[in-house]
Amino acid sequence: MALAVVSPVPVRSLPSMKAIGRSLAVVALVLAMFSVAATPIADAVPDKAAAAIDLVIPDNIQDLFGSSDASAAWWNPFSWSWGTLWNKVVKPCGVGAAVALVGKSVATVSTNTMLTLAKKNLVKVAGGGYAYIGWGVAGCIIGIINQ
């Protein structure tokens, strides 16, 4: 009792909002990791997993970048199957990048609209415009994998 009276600071204090936020973030991260680990991708989406493997190591790679014919070597762009490349790489990349960028923009603008209405400081994205380039690249990769 005497110790508590002479103590200049309380022995125990409530956790700060910062600590609560960090704890929530850790819990959410652990839950997400467990939920991802509990779902075997190959069992869940066999066709998509097979398609992803096919895209990385396609059986018909010579159909994409030429044939065994010496006059149609892989380095000759005229021998490439531009239609297949467009459908398998360029289009899903563009769609994924567009979707990711729209999602990122919608999220940031919604946040800042609410903060404007609440008369609080707006959020600024770390990296500025380069952050949007990074999200576009990420969306491109996800789009190709997820086709």
Name the minimum Å distance from CB 139 to other proteins.
7
Name the minimum Å distance from CB 125 to other proteins.
4
Identify the DSSP state of 9.
S
Binding residues (CB under 8 A) for other proteins: these are 17-18, 20-22, 24-25, 28-29, 32, 35-36, 39, 44-45, 95-96, 99-100, 102-116, 120-129, 131-132, 135, 139, 142-143, 146
Name the minimum Å distance from CB 104 to other proteins.
6
Instruction: Give the residue with the Cβ less far from other proteins, 15 or 74.
Output: 15
| CB-CB neighbours of 93 under 10 Å | 19
Distance CA 66, CA 70 (A): 9
Please report the DSSP string for 70-116 in residue order.
Answer: GGG-TT-GGGS-HHHHIIIIIHHHHHHHHHHHHHHHHHHHHHHHHHH
Name the minimum Å distance from CB 145 to other proteins.
11
Instruction: Give the residue with the Cβ less far from other proteins, 86 or 130.
Output: 130
Query: Whose structure tokens read 């002479």?
Result: 6
